[in-house]
Amino acid sequence: MTTEITKTNPEGESSIYQTTESFEFAQRQAKSLCESDLVPTSYQGQKGLSNCLVALEMSKRMNLSPLTVMQNLNVIHGKPSWSSQFITSNILGCGRFKNFDYVVTGKDNTLSVQCQAIRLEDKKLVKGTAVTMKMAQQEGWTRKNTKYQSMPELMLRNRAATFFGRQYIPDLLLGVQTSEEVVDIQPIDVTPVEVNPSLRKAKASAEGAKNITEKTDDFGF
């Protein structure tokens, strides 16, 4: 008897959730993948089963091998994120550009990196947003990630490639952030600060005394 795992995936479907048959097939694929030692740890075992389904969905939408997606899709703080190498490989392999390059200027605090390439559609030179050390410092990336101190040019290259990809191939990235973006995001604490009760009482007393003084002045006393 032939096992269900060998059944051919339904043709012409762009999502594992499109039909019951395609989802059931994806579940069998995910079960097989999560039992392998060759997939990253976040996809292994019963806990990795749901991650495998996400990877299968993304691989189907992007027309890539599931293993390619798994090797480049990192789960950080519960969020999926692409590796920077994956962004660069997509730019180089999408067939939309030629002569892709990094333009590096300055050094230390004036270091700047910008990506550029010839777009084949119109033969136009297109440039991504320039990424500088000043930008990294202002955005708080250098405080969050010490690699900006030990290997600044590489980190700026990764960021520059990410910006270029966001600008010119957003459809290939499916809106997923890079690992650096997830790590570098600085959460802002908007929790109201509780004022010490004694300080609040002292402030109220001071304001009350001020009001009494102002009223006394009004009567000329």
pLDDT at 219: 47
Whether residue 87 contacts residue 178, with contact meaning beta carbons closer than 8 Å, is answered with yes
Q: What is the pTM of this model?
A: 0.67
- Cα–Cα distance measured from residue 39 to residue 35, given in angstroms and rounded to the nearest whole number: 9
Examine the pLDDT at 195 and tell me if it is beyond 90.
no
* Confidence at 6, pLDDT banded by 50, 70, 90: very low
Whether residue 96 contacts residue 199, with contact meaning beta carbons closer than 8 Å, is answered with no
Residue of 182, 185, 186, 164 whose CA lies nearest to 173: 164
Q: How far apart are the first and last CA of the chain?
A: 106
More confident site: 216 or 72:
72
* Confidence at 33, pLDDT banded by 50, 70, 90: very high
Residue range 62-110, pLDDT digits in tens: 888 898 899 888 877 777 788 888 999 999 999 999 999 999 999 999 9
- Cα–Cα distance measured from residue 18 to residue 103, given in angstroms and rounded to the nearest whole number: 43
Whether residue 134 contacts residue 107, with contact meaning beta carbons closer than 8 Å, is answered with no
Mean pLDDT of 57-61: 88
Please, how many CA atoms are within 13 Å of residue 70, restricted to the half-sphere of its CB?
22
Residues 6+ apart with CB under 8 A from 77: 182
Please write down the long-range contacts of 77-86, taking CB distance under 8 Å and 24 or more positions apart. Answer: 77/182, 79/177, 79/182, 80/54, 80/176, 81/176, 81/177, 81/178, 81/179, 81/181, 81/182, 82/173, 82/176, 82/177, 82/178, 82/179, 83/178, 83/179, 84/158, 84/161, 84/162, 84/178, 84/179, 84/180
